[in-house]
Amino acid sequence: MWGIKLIGKKTEELIFKQLMRLANAIILFVIGLIVFTIMRKGLPALSWEIISQVPKGGYYFGGEGGVLNAIVGSIYLAFGATFLAFVISLPSALFINVHLQKHKKLQDIIRLFIDVMWGIPSVVYGAFAFGIMIYMGIRASLMAGIVTVAIFIMPIMIRGMDEVLKMVPKTLFESGLSLGSTKYELSYRIFFKQCIPGIATAILLSFGRAFGDVAAVLFTAGFTDNIPTSLTQPAATLPLAIFFQLSSPIPEVQNRAYAAAAILTFIILAISVFGRMALRKYKKNSIN
Amino acid sequence: MNQSKIEVKDLNLSIGNQHILKNINCKIPSRKITVILGSSGCGKSTLLKSMNRLTDLYPKVKISGDILLNNQGIFGKEVEVTDLRKKMGLMSQRPAPLPMSIFDNVAYGLRISGRKKKLQMKLRVEYYLKVVNLWDEVKDRLKAPASSLSIGQQQRLCLARGLAVDPELILADEPTSALDPLSSQVIEKKFMELKDSFTIVWVTHTLRQAKRMADHVIFMYLGEIIEQGPAEEFFNNPQHEITKNFLNGSFN
Ligand SMILES: Nc1ncnc2c1ncn2[C@@H]1O[C@H](COP(=O)(O)OP(=O)(O)OP(=O)(O)O)[C@@H](O)[C@H]1O
Ligand SMILES: [Mg+2]
């Protein structure tokens, strides 16, 4: 390369190191700024009332109440969707890597297909699901929201798991089979165990997307001031609650939107931290 | 003449348009150490892995010919490949412990064979860890992850794990190549003991190791078997020019 003649190896390394530092700094700065804004505007408006009550009449015009409906709705929806997506994603990702191990072309095609699905914006999933719901005469409900969000996060989850399963060493594959494992045993007793940390990351990542998404739930889960008591009832979600409150011209209501955003941030943070702590003990067993 | 455990007949194996094993014919005698000797890339591992049909997993693989285990073809439709593989313990070039505890590594084969009794399991795990001289080193930390062992210990663990499945053969693919001389010696010695109860196929590219261990030698060169026979004859009275060069060290 021509760069090497102009500057020495040492300088080159130094420059790249500084560039990486800069990149990290920019990311941290942006995250910091967002969190700071949410906290600065949200924390003063945060109160026990917001967390513990559903909206009373006129809440969105500055009346009394809170966003408990949206908190509970979001938790139901995100857990439900993550669980549903997991039940389908794990076997899929294992299938791609264990059963289709021989068929490299097919693997590539499937991966491409899933990557394209990943690129489709959630509003398209929402609209698509909404179309089906109208056709079948289903009304907006927690269930419909869960299914839609599950479909929307599935590509993320499958490819996240796939990327770690891909890294399982070939010798482990061969050792597992040599012991007389069926492909099923190889999948769940060996590949799965080997990849628990990475699989957990894929799940947490998808959970974050499920929790924070607006567009997929807008038409499918609906919105309500009540806490849903069954899967067929509509459910409110935090991102939508934030959106509605931010759209209000009343400053007090806008600040409550930031409070709701702070709650959302805390919940995602808490789940990520607890999720990781709970899974830490599995990390030690992985072979590299 | 000893009865042969495995018989390879006109085996040809290619991957894509690469012809890797060419007209392989050989016999593996029962309860002896058969060494597959040859320089790097000549197809030793491929031959070994076709014996427990791991080669099935290679993309674009084409296999013709036959391999007989106890006089029965292993490629037949009626052959349950998991049962076939349970009859052969495999040790690879680098140890590949399963992502679980030391205990579970040895118990794995018992568990997938449907054996569940706790006490019996414990006794068997202890037994096989003792067989490979690992018990004293790990008895206080059976719950520790297998990856926390040294490479030499991991390789012995892999042997114990393979033996626990109760195989008839042990396929060893240069199992000492990643080990220090002392750990290698431990493994070699263990195999010399094991040959009374198991048929062993040992792959290596080092002549000295082959001389130390072999009862029977299969010498390969560029995907073909050049010469094979009892160790004594092979080393003292090689027939083929290529073999002579290899034994003289005037090779590569
Ligand atoms: N999965 C595969 N795809 C394509 N070629 C392969 C594959 N596995 C092995 N080969 C080729 O087959 C030939 C024999 O490989 P093999 O691993 O059997 O050699 P080996 O004698 O065991 O060598 P070494 O002593 O280095 O382990 C090599 O040329 C190798 O490149
Ligand atoms: Mg090899």
- Contact yes or no for B83 and A177 at CB 8 A: no
- Residue A7 predicted with pLDDT over 80: no
- Residue A265 predicted with pLDDT over 60: yes
Strands B88-91 and B61-69: unpaired
- Residue A2 predicted with pLDDT over 90: no
Residues of A with Cβ-Cβ distance to B150 under 8 angstroms: none
Residues of A with Cβ-Cβ distance to B89 under 8 angstroms: 178
Q: What was the pLDDT predicted at A5?
A: 62
Which residues hold their Cβ within 5 A of ligand 2, which is an ion? B 45
Identify the nearest ligand to the CA of B43 by its number.
Answer: 1
Return residues 164-183 of B near A (CB < 8 Å).
165, 171
**What residue segments make up the domains of chain B, in order of their start?**
1-87+167-252, 98-166
For residue A65, what are its two tokens? 């109440």
Q: What was the pLDDT predicted at A272?
A: 87
Q: pLDDT-derived band of residue B1, with 50, 70 and 90 as boundaries?
A: very low
Nearest CA in chain A to B61: A102
Give the pLDDT mean for A79-83.
97
Please tell me if the CB atom of residue B252 comes closer than 6 angstroms to any atom of ligand 1. no
Q: Tabulate helix, strand, coil % of chain B (nearest 5).
A: 40, 30, 35
Which residue's alpha carbon is at the smallest distance from atom 17 of ligand 1?
B45
Distances (CA, A) of A19 to A4, A9, A12, A23: 17, 15, 11, 6
Q: Which of A103, A104, A194 sits opposite B99 (nearest CB)?
A: A194
For all residues of chain B together, what is the average pLDDT?
Answer: 93
- Contact yes or no for B162 and A172 at CB 8 A: no
- Contact yes or no for B54 and A189 at CB 8 A: no
- Contact yes or no for B112 and A185 at CB 8 A: yes
CATH assignment of B1-87+167-252, among 3.90.700.10, 3.40.50.2300, 3.40.50.300, 3.20.20.80: 3.40.50.300
Q: What percent of chain A has pLDDT over 70?
A: 96
Task: Quote the ipTM score.
Answer: 0.92
For residue B10, what are its two tokens? 């006109």
Strands B4-15 and B88-91: unpaired
Q: What was the pLDDT predicted at B113?
A: 86
- Residue A77 predicted with pLDDT over 60: yes
Give the pLDDT mean for A64-92.
95
* Listed range (B23-32, B34-43, B111-120) with the worst mean pLDDT: B111-120
Residues B246, B252: Cα–Cα separation, whole Å: 8
With beta carbons less than 8 A apart as the criterion, state whether B55 and B20 touch.
no
- Contact yes or no for A171 and B96 at CB 8 A: yes
Give the pLDDT mean for A171-185.
95
Q: What was the pLDDT predicted at A58?
A: 83
Q: What was the pLDDT predicted at A185?
A: 95
Predicted confidence (pLDDT) per residue in A11-26, tens digit:
888 999 999 999 999 9
Residues of B with Cβ-Cβ distance to A176 under 8 angstroms: 98
- Contact yes or no for A179 and B94 at CB 8 A: no
Please tell me if the CB atom of residue B27 comes closer than 6 angstroms to any atom of ligand 1. no
Q: What was the pLDDT predicted at B2?
A: 52
Who's near B227: CB < 8 A, 6+ residues apart?
B217, B219, B234, B238, B239, B240, B242, B243
Higher-confidence residue: B25 or A13? Answer: B25
Residues B96, A287: Cα–Cα separation, whole Å: 8
Predicted confidence (pLDDT) per residue in B129-164, tens digit:
999 999 999 999 999 999 999 999 999 999 999 999
Q: What percent of chain B has pLDDT over 70?
A: 98
| C-beta atoms surrounding A270 within 10 Å | 10
- Contact yes or no for B90 and A174 at CB 8 A: yes
Please tell me if the CB atom of residue B58 comes closer than 6 angstroms to any atom of ligand 1. yes
E strands present in chain A: none
Min Cα separation A33/chain B (Å):
41
At residue A159's C-alpha, the angle toward residues A155 and A160, to 5°, is 110
Higher-confidence residue: B1 or A272? Answer: A272
Q: pLDDT-derived band of residue B251, with 50, 70 and 90 as boundaries?
A: low
Nearest CA in chain B to A195: B99
- Name the one residue in this structure whose structure tokens are 């991966």: A111
Instruction: Please tell me if residue B98 touches chain A, with a CB cutoff of 8 Å.
Output: yes
Nearest CA in chain A to B160: A179
Distances (CA, A) of B240 to A261, B21, B209, B228, B237: 80, 19, 21, 10, 9
- For B88, the enclosing helix (H) or strand (E) is strand B88-91
At residue B129's C-alpha, the angle toward residues B136 and A280, to 5°, is 85
- CB burial class (10 A; 0-12, 13-18, 19+) of residue A117? middle
Cβ-based interface (< 8 Å): residues of A facing B = 101-104, 169, 171-182, 185, 189-190, 193-194, 284-288
Please tell me if the CB atom of residue B61 comes closer than 6 angstroms to any atom of ligand 1. no
Sheet holding B61-69, edge to edge: B18-29, B4-15, B61-69, B72-73
CA of A16 to the centre of ligand 2 (A): 39
